[in-house]
A and B are shown apart, each in its own frame.
Chain A
Amino acid sequence: MRKVIMGNHALSYGAMLSRTQVISAYPITPQTQVVELLSEMCADGTLQAKFIKVESEHSAMAACIGASIAGARTFTATSAQGLALMHELLHWASGGRLPIVMGDINRAMAPGWSIWTDQNDSLSQRDTGWMQFYVSSNQEVVDTTIQAFKIAEAIGIPAMVVLDAFALSHAYEVVDIPEQDKVDAYLPPYKPYARLTPDAPCAFDGLTGPEHYFELRYKLQKDMEKVPALFDETGREFEKIFGRRLEAVEPYLCDDAEIILVTSGTAGFTARVAVDEMRKEGIKIGNFRIRMFRPFPFDAVRRVLAKASKIAGLDRNISYGYHGIFCQEVKSALNGSGSSAPVFGFIAGLGGRDIMAASFREIVDIVRRQDKPAEEINWIGVKK
């Protein structure tokens, strides 16, 4: 069924079609419509789930953790300050190997108060052991949420579906809403490896000494390393059922490109428009959108970017004192891969300033003028 819906409602549909059993969430702009629609779905029986209306995001994640260890499929959604408040429990969820799925609406961190988009909230949680999938259309929001449950439950690692505030969360797009029976075929009920039950009493996540802790973390990393293949496999399976392929990265006209833009989120969609325009003028340019940020798709990045003579990484985020975070990951991935292409770092759109097709033209002008980066960071659209 095709419907025009907002990005936030696409998340609600994703959670509903996945037959989420327990939802726990706290309201924060710009996430509210996600939980409003889910509340209605729970109230009218469209979704058979318990919705725990907590007093904070910290408790939201705690309740999700409790429900997940009890064996239920669990979902929450938040943004910015709410995600930061959850930080401690993000480690708890991944360390406890609980396949919770969360929608994060990328919103800039305060102060000053900002409700507009940038990626510093989710990227501040980079090292918490959660998978992170950055999407760029409402169709991807629905599809990726369903896929996220499948991957998370197969590997026992929680997943974040990340979308830009307003640019996507409040944007209305046509979405092909998957049919429930097809989703059921793709995503069977959650069967946990172990759970909290009096039938087999166990203690979970207690005191763990140096003789065991290291191995638990080693296993988490080893399982993270299996995710790129799992993403590919579940993405192909998704295509067989729904006709849409889900891939960890989306290369667009990269094969013969001399300059490749590296993008994520809605900026990755805008970049395609810019690429089309510049291709018409004969500029050999491509766009490489990274959808899966954690685990980082090293192999795909190396494979696609190896052919470029110049790489331009666009970040809607910053690691203060270093540079854009996607860009730094790309540089790290290319190190030792044999690629000698210079990587130009660009930062744009912090706090919700628009990133337009013209922004990419500005980026390409800088890259074409310089043999190697004159600056560590090029700022696009900032009033210096």
Chain B
Amino acid sequence: MSKQKKMTLTLPTEELVGSGNLACQGCGANLALRYVLKAFGKRTAICIPACCWAVIDGPFPYSCLGIPVYHCAFETAASTATGVKAGLEMIGDTETQVIAWAGDGGTFDIGIQSLSAAAERNDDILYVCYDNEAYMNTGIQRSSATPTGAWTTTTPVKFPKDQPKKDIDAIMAAHRIPYQATASIAYPEDLYKKAVKAKNIRGTKFIHVLAPCPTGWKSRPEDAVKLARLAVQTSYFPLYEVEDGEKYTLNFKIQNKKSIDEYLKLQGRFRHLKPEAIAAIQAEVDRNWDRLLKKVTAR
């Protein structure tokens, strides 16, 4: 950094995610919930299906969260949250907001049916997918959020994943929900602002947060935020919002796109990739970026 800038903390100091929880070192998912709850505050109930956070929260009878938590079945984050919201309203609590908080497996794969249904009904919940790009809680198995070329325990180096990551954001946009966004733990103010915006919109909101997982990505814990930032700077994971499935807004305009190699080389899960495989990933990232720009400028 050539110029020293004075940093000011713009996020509320209130912490609803307690320390000493069961997250791994450098866990992106841990930071993600910390920032979202700073926006939502105490009048919030959360539904957590099977995912890393089912463990991070702590075993019975403990919880590291300062809000009520319902641990629900794997594929039911959205439908359980819908039920909680309806139940609260029927007993006269219209104030408490309900968050469904699921990993990529619970969102892209096993939970997509109930998520799609809640979005179609436009139920008044915030659904957050913290995406660490594999089934990390069960020991790093591939999900449909796992990117092309990545090693996981079910996509070994000799047979890496050869399908692209599922475009969950396009799927959610097709539901024309009032608000959705991508977000990153490397940009806490942006994530916080998006959560505040979601909090003030009635209907289904969806936030997709890239949450680096040092354990599963075979990266250094201290690189988690750096990796999340590189994912944005390389346009691997651009930051944008979509309103009503149509109005796209780019939140982070990339001037000099960094090469995907800078992002990949810090992660052991991509170590086996040959230059031509990396070039193919770069081409895929570029295509996705162009596709997004078209959506942003189309309106």
Question: How many residues in B have their beta carbons less than 8 Å from beta carbons of A?
Answer: 48
Q: Is A64 an interface residue (CB 8 A)?
A: yes
A54: chain B residues at CB < 8 Å are 79, 114, 117
| Residues 197-254 of B at the A interface (beta carbon under 8 Å) | none
Q: Is A204 an interface residue (CB 8 A)?
A: yes
Q: Who on chain B is nearest to A205 by CB?
A: B71
Q: Is A71 an interface residue (CB 8 A)?
A: yes
Q: Is A56 an interface residue (CB 8 A)?
A: yes
Contact present for B96 and A198 (CB under 8 Å): yes
Chain B proximity mask over A331-369: 1 for CB below 8 Å, otherwise 0: 000000000000000000000000000000000000000
Contact present for B82 and A52 (CB under 8 Å): yes
If A22-B86, A56-B113, A72-B91 touch, whether A206 touches B79 (CB-CB below 8 Å) is no
If A196-B45, A207-B59, A209-B59 touch, whether A66 touches B70 (CB-CB below 8 Å) is yes
Contact present for B69 and A66 (CB under 8 Å): no
If A66-B87, A72-B90 touch, whether A198 touches B80 (CB-CB below 8 Å) is no
Q: Who on chain A is nearest to B56 by CB?
A: A207
B123: chain A residues at CB < 8 Å are 52
**In the bound complex, what is the Cα–Cα distance between A56 and B76 (angstroms)?**
11
Contact present for A21 and B73 (CB under 8 Å): no
Stretch in B60-68, B128-136, B183-191, B260-268 with 4+ CB within 8 Å of A: B60-68
| Residues 80-103 of B at the A interface (beta carbon under 8 Å) | 80-91, 93, 96
Contact present for A203 and B60 (CB under 8 Å): yes
If A52-B83, A70-B83, A203-B58 touch, whether A62 touches B117 (CB-CB below 8 Å) is no
If A69-B87, A207-B59 touch, whether A55 touches B71 (CB-CB below 8 Å) is no
Which residue of A21, A48, A53, A56 contacts B87 across the interface (Cβ within 8 Å)? A21
Q: Who on chain A is nearest to B97 by CB?
A: A198
Q: Is B288 an interface residue (CB 8 A)?
A: no
Q: Is B116 an interface residue (CB 8 A)?
A: yes
A88: chain B residues at CB < 8 Å are 73
Which residue of B75, B87, B116 contacts A72 across the interface (Cβ within 8 Å)? B87
B70: chain A residues at CB < 8 Å are 66, 69, 196, 203-205
Contact present for B71 and A204 (CB under 8 Å): yes
Q: Is B272 an interface residue (CB 8 A)?
A: no
Q: Is A3 an interface residue (CB 8 A)?
A: no
**In the bound complex, what is the Cα–Cα distance between A67 and B72 (angstroms)?**
12
- Chain B residues engaging chain A, CB cutoff 8 angstroms: 42-45, 47-48, 54-55, 57-63, 65-73, 75-76, 79-91, 93, 96, 113-114, 116-117, 120-121, 123
